[in-house]
Amino acid sequence: MPSVTSIVARSFPDHIIGKENQLPWHLRTDLKLFKQRTQGHAIIMGRKTFESLGNPLQNRINIVLSRSPIEESDEVKWATNPETALLLADAYSIYLHRTEFFVIGGEQIYDLFYKFINKIWLTEVFCGRMNGDAKFDRKFSEPEWRIRTEQDFPAGVHDDWPFRITKILRRKPVHRERSKDEFVKVDVDIMRQLEQWTPDEVGLSSDVEEAEPLRFI
């Protein structure tokens, strides 16, 4: 199955990721890199994160995990539980020939999917002490994790603070498996939706000229 990647931006040293449902900084460079990495992929988020965006992220399948109904469209899908969110992300990733999808927040969503994560893009914002109401307080140490790359960025006209982006990999990747029966068992309507869905409807493109119909083991 497709691999699961998290993208997280947090303050250093307090590990704050949000304040009143907003990012407590503006880093245009980081947002640009986020866009480059996630475009054309499925992304999973919680309701508060979705609401904070204002609009669905374009050229992506926005999967929103929420107990309350979310208005759906070709690019927005509502999941009532983590299992359905994973099912949708897997199915759309397979259709689009993507090898990964992304978990983008907030705090509870990161915790829910942590056990599935194989890669993390971690942005540490060097803004000093700050208060917030959402945190990402995990540590990624040996022997479970290893740092693959680190890159530092200075503060500038479009970036409030200096920051560092670290690519972190799980040493023993989580390999998930599913059968067609598992997909259908979660929500029979999902398979019907996917049979009628094409990437062109939301401006997405696959890695091949024509996407093959969905096929599962």
38 lies in some domain:
yes
User: For 158-162, what is the mean pLDDT?
Assistant: 97
CB 62 within 8 A of CB 81: no
Q: pLDDT value at position 200?
A: 72
Write down the pLDDT at residue 21: 87
| Cα distances (angstroms) measured from residue 40 to each of 93, 161, 179, 189, 192 | 9, 29, 24, 23, 22
| pLDDT at site 193 | 67
What lies within 8 Å, CB to CB, of 99 at 6+ separation is 2, 3, 93
pTM tops 0.85: yes
Token pair 């990495």 is found at 37
14-43: average pLDDT = 95
| Average pLDDT of span 69-75 | 92
Cβ atoms 124, 12 nearer than 8 A: yes
Q: In this structure, is residue 37 part of a structural domain? A: yes
pLDDT in tens, 109-152: 999 999 999 999 999 999 999 999 999 999 998 899 999 999 99
pLDDT of 210 above 70:
no
Category of 156 on φ-ψ map: left (φ > 0), alpha (ψ -120 to 50) or beta: beta
CATH number for the domain spanning 195: value is: 3.40.430.10
Domain count of the chain? 1
DSSP bridge pairs for 151:
165
- Residue 212, in any domain of the structure: no
With residue 44 as reference, give the H or E element that holds it: strand 42-46
pLDDT at 100: 97
134 in a domain, yes or no?
A: yes
Question: Is residue 209 in a domain?
Answer: no
**What is the distance between the alpha carbons of residues 51 and 2, in angstroms, rounded to a whole number?**
26
pLDDT of residue 194 exceeding 80: no
Total residues belonging to the chain: 217
**pLDDT value for 125:** 98
| Cβ 103 vs Cβ 8: under 8 Å | no
In-domain check, residue 216: no
* Any domain includes 213: no
Instruction: Provide the pLDDT for residue 209.
Output: 40
pLDDT one-digit tens code per residue, 147-156: 999 999 999 9
- Angle between the 82-95 and 188-196 helix axes, to the nearest 10 degrees? 20
Q: Is residue 158 part of a domain?
A: yes
Q: 148 is in which domain, residue-wise?
A: 3-202
pLDDT of residue 213: 41
- Judged against a pLDDT cut of 70, whether residue 190 lies above it is answered with no
